[in-house]
């Protein structure tokens, strides 16, 4: 019965409704909301005081482009220098996770085989 409920066509909407009850959602909501708010503010700021492109890729000047207020930006050098090491860290963590999962799968199979031997 649980498997039929799990594989039903409306499971997406049922899971979508239960997102706010998730422990991961509850623990990460503040950080994600703060990051989204700051990013939205920076985009709005740069659209007002700088240039922006519409959906047809036509470049427009912002309403206050010629004011003395600068646009907000970060240099790309720190991100460029940090990305290879972060990529390697992600790969190593993924490989370690897979090794742990594979070891657990082998142990579970061994337990089942020993249980069959007992019978």
The predicted structure's pLDDT at residue 2? 79
Each residue's pLDDT tens digit, 6-24? 788 888 888 888 888 989 9
pTM above 0.85, yes or no: no
- Look at residues 48, 77, 80 and name the one whose alpha carbon lies nearest to residue 65: 48
């Amino acid at each position: 019965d649980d498997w039929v409920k799990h594989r039903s066509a409306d499971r997406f909407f049922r899971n979508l409704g239960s997102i706010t009850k998730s422990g991961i959602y509850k623990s990460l909501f503040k950080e994600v909301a703060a990051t989204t708010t700051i990013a939205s503010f920076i985009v709005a700021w740069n659209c007002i005081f700088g240039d922006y492109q519409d959906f047809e890729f036509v470049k427009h000047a912002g309403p206050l482009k010629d004011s003395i207020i600068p646009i907000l930006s970060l240099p790309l050098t720190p991100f460029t220098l940090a990305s290879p090491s972060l990529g390697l860290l992600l790969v190593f963590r993924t490989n370690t996770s897979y090794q742990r999962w594979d070891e657990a799968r082998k142990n579970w199979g061994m337990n089942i085989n020993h249980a069959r031997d007992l019978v």
